[in-house]
Structure 1
Amino acid sequence: MMVSVETLPGLERRMEISVPATRVRQQVDARLLKVSRTARIKGFRPGKAPIHVVRKHYGTQVKDEVVSDLIRETFAEALRQEKLQPAGGPRIEAQKTGEPDGLRYTATFEVYPQFELADPAKLKLTRPVAAVGEGDVDAMIESLRRQRPNWTEVARGCGDGDRVTIDFEGRIDGAPFEGGKSENHVIVLGAGRLLPDFEQGLRGSAPGEKREFDLRFPEDYPARTLTGKTARFETLVHKVEESSLPEVDPAFCEAFGVAEGGIEALRAEVRQNMERELAQAVQSRLKAQVMDQLLAANPIAVPKSLVDAEIRDMQVALLRRSGQRDARQLPPRENFEPAAKRRVALGLLLNEVARRANIKPDAAQVQSRLDELVSTYTDPDEARRQYLQDEAATRQLQMSVLEDQAVAWVVATADVRDQAATFKDIMNFGADAASEAVG
């Protein structure tokens, strides 16, 4: 077998591989002999037809199969011989050969970038240090009160902060559209769950009031079939309710799963969860610094094939989150390209960190991460079984753990300076933090 490698622009390589006719003929003959043992050909008993007859009937099919197998075999052999690591599948093109039964083809593919990792010890990181104070717990309790308001029906027009029960139906050019109709739909006005223009059309509506208004869907609306279009909506308000904050009493504590111990027990649980979330937030900030500084210290080229695959994954994930299934509604790829390039580059850099530090996925951490994932399912045991049967999901879980281990190694190696901070500074205190404060 003869191999030549041409270096193309960037990370692309073109490898020309020539396989001698003797190797092709040997494999064709061997496979024809195997076929002849069971071949059913008219005029002969099964498996008794002469080899030249078998060749006449099955020769073309067998040769095509052999060539396909040989391309896979010889491509892998050539990669090992040339010490190349492809970043994606090759583009195969058959080439003419002067040998009657010879095989000659080119394989064009990208390789992983070769780079020397910058010394992680030279990275300078800042670790925020804070404690959860009594005032932080007080503020969190107030946020929890806002999460569980008491609702009282009123007869006035609705405004921001009110809970409104409505029917609505939208039409575009007089025709209904998917997702454009709902009955007894409950919203909190001003919460940002619906388009701002839709909420504006509702403001001031009283129970029993009907309204009509036009709404133009923005260009970045997730349902691509609706972007830029104008719909005419009809609405009917059934009920308007205003909120008041609940008392911090035993009933309030029980609403958050604290059945005994009253407010002191609730405060203790809230504090414990706030401290856990604070520790996670500190780690997240350190991780973000590690990522940013690794990228800045190690500018590398990234394989287009890996970026394309990452973009596709991100498009599909967003499509699913928006409740869509039609692949024709995939958001534009250019929206994802910068983030995809960053993800791919970070993956390559963290893999190199893991290789340099001889880090392997920690089995206990993988198990713990899996336990955490399946705990959110109705049947955790079944979810675990399905997860473990999915090789791609299992590999992704292991790589996630490996990434965290690599980041931890960089943090332990880098120059880290502690900086005093507050819980609010670190957590960007608000509803998102409060939602995690009671487990």
Structure 2
Amino acid sequence: MQVSVESTSALERRLTIGVPAERIETEVNKRLQQTASRAKIPGFRPGKVPMSVIRQRYEEAARQEALGDVIQATFYEAVVAEKLNPAGAPSVEPKVFEKGKDLEYIATFEVFPEFELAGFEGIEVERLQAEVGDADVDNMLEILRKQSTRFETVADRVAENGDQVNIDFVGKIDGEAFAGGSAKGTQLVLGSGRMIPGFEEALVGARAGEERVITPTFPEDYQNLDLAGKTAEFSVTVNSVAEPKLPELDDEFFARFGVTEGGLEGFRAEVRKNMGRELRQAIKTKVKTQVMDGLIDSNPVEVPKALLDNEVNRLRTQAVQQFGGNIKPDQLPAELFSEQARRRVLLGLIVAEVVQKNEIKPDEARVRELIEEMASAYQEPEQVVSWYYKNDEQLNEVRSVVLEEQVVDTVLKQAKVTDKSVSYEEAVKAAQAPQAA
């Protein structure tokens, strides 16, 4: 077998591979012999069909199958011999594909980038320090109460912000009704910001049974461009007004969250524990984000298009699975996912290099600790832990998370880390964990 390599770009390689005709014919004959042993042809006993008849009927199919297998095998042999690391499947272009002649083809593909990992000394990380205080627990109890708010109808007063009104409305622009501008029996909490600016405000002070005509204006950046910036006229009928009633902090309320013992103090302890878990995860996520950003900034690596395309397709599939709809993944525009896909692939390449260079392996004790922490949020944590250890796919996902945490720890040992004391609320502000593909 003859192989020549050409670098057509930083990552693209072009292999020209020549395979002796004898190897092709050997593979073809092997398949014809296998076919002859089981072929059933009228007029001949099984296994006694002349090879000339077998060739006449099956040689073309056997040759195509042999060519495919030989190309696959010789491509693998070539990249191993040339010490190449393909990042995706090759594009194969035949040069000589004729019977009786040596096979010659060109395989074009991308390789994984080779790069020297930059040091971690220049990465700066701000690590937040916070605690769950009594006031934070009090605030969380109020949030939980508000989430369980029920509304009671009132007949003797006007609607206020925070009240829930039941309304019918018909919206028109220039005297013409528009799609989505009318509804009956809609429940609306005034001040929730659910409707366009000016709509909810115009209903403050209304009574049950009252009809009002209001004229709010759609925002200039409204998602429906046909309505953006236009003033509408809504005829609104207020069917009822209901005021919010917050539940008491009693055993019935505690039971909704799975706390059946300990009364208020037991419930506060459970809430504090959950808040502590959320706080630790938020701080960890923000540190991880800074570390990953630092790794990307200090390691400008070219991303193979094959890996990028694969990741875009994976994100497309995830989006369809998450949001549903009667669409196929490839109907979603690739550009919606290209930036996220590039970041994930880039992180994957860099993190893999950190793992290899530092010989990092998942710490099984940390894997167990993480699983137990996740399981503690459930009523029967032992069953959750057992479930993880019986599901290899889920267990490997946890190992991947732990491996990335160990990468973060490795970077932090050399990075410039400063600690900053903040409130619980500031520490748990939304932070999205970076993911490596």
**TM-score normalized by the length of structure 1:** 0.78
Contact 1:167 1:235 in 2 (8 A): yes
Superposition pairs for residues 137-216 of structure 1, below 5 Å? 137-155=137-155, 161-164=162-165, 186=187, 188-191=189-192, 196=196, 203=203
2:243 maps to 1:242: yes
Q: Offset at 1:184?
A: 6.2
For residue 87 of structure 1, what is the aligned residue in structure 2? 87
Pairwise CA RMSD: 4.3
Contact 1:25 1:101 in 2 (8 A): no
Superposition pairs for residues 322-333 of structure 1, below 5 Å? 322-327=323-328, 330-333=331-334
Q: Offset at 1:256?
A: 3.6
2:14 maps to 1:14: yes
For the pair shown, the structure with the greater C-alpha radius of gyration is 2
Q: Offset at 1:357?
A: 1.9
Cα 1:326–1:132 shift into 2, 3 Å: same
Contact 2:196 2:217 in 1 (8 A): no
For residue 437 of structure 1, what is the aligned residue in structure 2? none
For residue 123 of structure 1, what is the aligned residue in structure 2? 123
Cα 1:24–1:277 shift into 2, 3 Å: same
The one-letter amino acid of 1:78's match is A
The one-letter amino acid of 1:135's match is A
Q: Offset at 1:12?
A: 1.7
> In structure 1, the residue corresponding to 2:96 is in which secondary structure?
coil
In the TM superposition, what whole-angstrom CA distance separates every residue of 1:346-391 from its partner, at most 9, and x where no partner exists?
1111111111122233456556767859x98x9x89x969x948x6
Query: What is the distance in 2 between the residues matched to 1:89 and 1:270?
Result: 51
Q: Offset at 1:300?
A: 0.6
The more displaced of 151-160 and 284-293 is: 151-160
The more displaced of 50-59 and 409-418 is: 409-418
Query: What is the distance in 2 between the residues matched to 1:94 and 1:350?
Result: 38
Query: What is the distance in 2 between the residues matched to 1:169 and 1:311?
Result: 43
For residue 410 of structure 1, what is the aligned residue in structure 2? 411
Query: What is the distance in 1 between the residues matched to 2:362 and 2:192?
Result: 42
Query: What is the distance in 1 between the residues matched to 2:246 and 2:81?
Result: 72
For residue 76 of structure 1, what is the aligned residue in structure 2? 76
Query: What is the distance in 2 between the residues matched to 1:322 and 1:182?
Result: 25
Query: What is the distance in 2 between the residues matched to 1:290 and 1:47?
Result: 67
> In structure 2, the residue corresponding to 1:105 is in which secondary structure?
strand
Contact 2:199 2:216 in 1 (8 A): no
Query: What is the distance in 1 between the residues matched to 2:334 and 2:240?
Result: 43
Query: What is the distance in 1 between the residues matched to 2:241 and 2:108?
Result: 65
Query: What is the distance in 2 between the residues matched to 1:220 and 1:37?
Result: 72
> In structure 1, the residue corresponding to 2:85 is in which secondary structure?
coil
For residue 424 of structure 1, what is the aligned residue in structure 2? 425
Contact 1:302 1:341 in 2 (8 A): yes
For residue 345 of structure 2, what is the aligned residue in structure 1? 344
Q: Offset at 1:292?
A: 0.8
2:322 maps to 1:321: yes
Cα 1:278–1:23 shift into 2, 3 Å: same
Q: Offset at 1:309?
A: 2.2
Query: What is the distance in 2 between the residues matched to 1:408 and 1:10?
Result: 32
Cα 1:270–1:59 shift into 2, 3 Å: same
> In structure 1, the residue corresponding to 2:288 is in which secondary structure?
helix
The one-letter amino acid of 2:352's match is N
For residue 25 of structure 2, what is the aligned residue in structure 1? 25
Cα 1:310–1:298 shift into 2, 3 Å: same
Q: Offset at 1:95?
A: 1.6
Q: Offset at 1:330?
A: 4.7
Structure 1's unaligned 5+ residue stretches are: 222-226, 430-439
> In structure 1, the residue corresponding to 2:261 is in which secondary structure?
coil
For residue 42 of structure 1, what is the aligned residue in structure 2? 42
The one-letter amino acid of 1:17's match is I
For residue 434 of structure 2, what is the aligned residue in structure 1? none
Query: What is the distance in 2 between the residues matched to 1:35 and 1:168?
Result: 75
**TM-score normalized by the length of structure 2:** 0.78
> In structure 2, the residue corresponding to 1:309 is in which secondary structure?
helix
For residue 313 of structure 2, what is the aligned residue in structure 1? 312
The more displaced of 327-336 and 230-239 is: 230-239
Query: What is the distance in 1 between the residues matched to 2:236 and 2:109?
Result: 57
Query: What is the distance in 2 between the residues matched to 1:135 and 1:2?
Result: 75
Structure 2's unaligned 5+ residue stretches are: 431-437
> In structure 1, the residue corresponding to 2:131 is in which secondary structure?
coil
In the TM superposition, what whole-angstrom CA distance separates every residue of 1:262-283 from its partner, at most 9, and x where no partner exists?
3322222222222221111111
In the TM superposition, what whole-angstrom CA distance separates every residue of 1:114-149 from its partner, at most 9, and x where no partner exists?
111112355332211122222222222232232222
Q: How many residues align?
A: 416
For residue 264 of structure 2, what is the aligned residue in structure 1? 263
Contact 1:370 1:384 in 2 (8 A): no
Q: Offset at 1:218?
A: 10
Contact 1:217 1:229 in 2 (8 A): no
Contact 1:287 1:407 in 2 (8 A): yes
The one-letter amino acid of 2:271's match is V
In the TM superposition, what whole-angstrom CA distance separates every residue of 1:308-342 from its partner, at most 9, and x where no partner exists?
22223333333443342312895433232222211
The more displaced of 286-295 and 14-23 is: 14-23
The one-letter amino acid of 1:103's match is L
